Amino acid sequence: EARNELAKIYVKRAKNAERDQAEPLYLEALGYDPNLEEARLDLARMYMTDKRFEEGIALLENREGCQGCASLEAALLCAMIHFVTTFL
């Protein structure tokens, strides 16, 4: 319970942080609670925006109990395919 609450504090800090400071905060949150869906989804979205598709997909693959992970993983795959076929 305490680890989950601490993880939520890190997520809140990440949401208010500058972009370059947010990733370590999300990773810290997931270190305290690996099942914290909000941290997992927010970080995966950030990876998608940064075109770090493989990292986002890897983050979402281990998604036991994550409600939004499957659809975001599909979106990451589509974005990656679009990027590869358009720019490479």
pLDDT averaged over the chain? 94
pLDDT in tens, 48-72: 999 999 999 999 987 788 889 999 9
Please report the pLDDT score of residue 5 as a whole number.
97
Q: Which residue has the higher pLDDT, 88 or 71?
A: 71
**Cβ atoms of 57 and 70 closer than 8 Å:** no
Long-range contacts from 8-15, C-beta under 8 angstroms, 24+ separation:
8/33, 8/36, 8/38, 10/39, 11/36, 11/38, 11/39, 11/42, 14/39, 14/42, 15/42
Please report the pLDDT score of residue 51 as a whole number.
96
- Give the pair of three-digit tokens for residue 53: 């598709």
Distance CA 12, CA 44 (A): 16
